[in-house]
Amino acid sequence: MPSMSNTTVFQQQARDRLTDRGARITRARCAVLAALLAADRPLSHHDLEQQLEDLCDRVTLYRVLAWLVDENLAHRVSGEDRVWRFNADHPSDHRYGHGHAHFHCNGCGAVFCMDAKARVPAVPDGFQLEAAELILRGLCRECS
Amino acid sequence: MPSMSNTTVFQQQARDRLTDRGARITRARCAVLAALLAADRPLSHHDLEQQLEDLCDRVTLYRVLAWLVDENLAHRVSGEDRVWRFNADHPSDHRYGHGHAHFHCNGCGAVFCMDAKARVPAVPDGFQLEAAELILRGLCRECS
DNA sequence: GGTTACATGCCACCCAGTTGCATTTGCGGC
DNA sequence: GCCGCAAATGCAACTGGGTGGCATGTAACC
């Protein structure tokens, strides 16, 4: 990736993902997916709203995010602060495995993806386990 | 506990806890704490509101719950549905250890406490780990 | 270029939780 | 038993994340 700006790289990646899906290429989808791909941690609706300025409506942003999750292009992390954060799924480079742990910073509220995975325990009879999620809490680099 | 109804037992337990703390005994606190003690799983604000009918105001309920958490008489579980659920802490019988796993039912949304505990992994340099939480998802007995 | 189904913008709304403030109430002291 | 006061409660209005409905705009196929 020579003189191409990072932004453009992610924009292109985003477009490629969308065309792979046979989905409609729209400004909002490209921008949101590119932002998620570029981010090193899950972004909240609020984060994205700021980053994208008024590229699209608040509601559209919600809908695009929901759509991305639906299409398995992103996944949703629910935080202690009752806001959802979104991560682009990286199928090519599996930076983090599926069901990887999330670190929630008690200081700034940010969420980070970790390599660690949840070890799946046994559950009582009658319960059907489908997924396990490991949540870590503490202070991130900035807040320590 | 002979002819004493369960309700009364928990009411008494609740009163005892409050007096231990040297805290003021109020109708709302007794009722809420008793309800939590009697429950076999974390209760949401909504659950409690229904159960207590109009024993107290919506806001008071929020305040009592916050106070109980503050006093370490209860703890809070955050669910996927963005509502908080509350569990009485059982210090005498440690039914569940601290930091025990929670099972979230994808069917009815209920949350259950489990014996299993999170295994604490290593975190990257600069991060300070304070707590680990294990979330299990699937179907509960009723929903399977 | 024209058509059409899908995406978007705008509106008003819902729901969980909070804040401010006036009123009530538990409880220790008389 | 009664008083006084701090603590708890009730009420009303508010906040903030998220949703639903519907008219308009637009990507993609022809």
Instruction: Kindly state whether residue A72 falls inside one of the protein's structural domains.
Output: yes
Q: Given the DSSP bridges, would you call strands B100-105 and B128-139 parallel, antiparallel or unpaired?
A: parallel
Instruction: With a cut of 60, say whether residue B13 has pLDDT above it.
Output: yes
Averaged pLDDT of chain B: 88
pLDDT on residue A8: 82
Q: Which nucleotide is nearest to A58 (CA to C1')?
A: C9
Query: What's the Cα-to-Cα distance from A37 to each of A6, A86, A92, A127, rounded to whole Å?
Result: 10, 10, 12, 36
Mean pLDDT throughout B63-79? 93
Per-residue pLDDT tens over the stretch A95-114: 566 678 899 998 888 999 89
**A128 has a chain B CB within 8 A of its CB:** yes
Domain that holds residue A76: 6-138
* Residue A36: CATH number of its domain: 1.10.10.10
DSSP state of B120: P
Cβ-Cβ contacts under 8 Å, A82 against chain B: 78, 82
C-alpha to C-alpha distance for A28 and A35, rounded to whole angstroms = 11
Extract the runs of DSSP E, i.e. beta strands, from B2-144: 43-44, 74-78, 84-88, 100-105, 111-117, 128-139
CA dist A65 and B116 (Å) reads 33
Q: How confident is the model at residue B112 (pLDDT cuts 50, 70, 90)?
A: very high
Helices (H) then strands (E): counts for chain A? 4, 6
Answer yes or no: is A81 within a domain.
yes
Q: Could you read off the pLDDT of A35-94 as tens digits, one per residue?
A: 999 998 999 999 999 999 889 999 999 999 999 999 999 999 888 888 999 999 876 555
The answer to whether residue B143 is domain-embedded is: no
In a domain, A99, yes or no: yes
**Residue B1 counted as domain residue:** no
pLDDT for position B3: 44
A41 domain residue, yes or no:
yes
Asked, for residue B120, whether it belongs to a domain, the answer is yes
- Identify the CA nearest to B109 among candidates B138, B133, B129: B138
Residue B117's pLDDT is: 82
Residue A1 lies in a domain: no
- Strands of the sheet containing B43-44, edge to edge, are B43-44, B84-88, B74-78
Count of domains for chain B? 1
**Nearest chain A alpha carbon to B139:** A128
Tell me the shortest Cα–Cα distance from B45 to chain A, in angstroms: 15
Give the residue on B whose Cα is nearest the Cα of A134. Answer: B134
| β-sheet bridge partners, residue B76 | B86
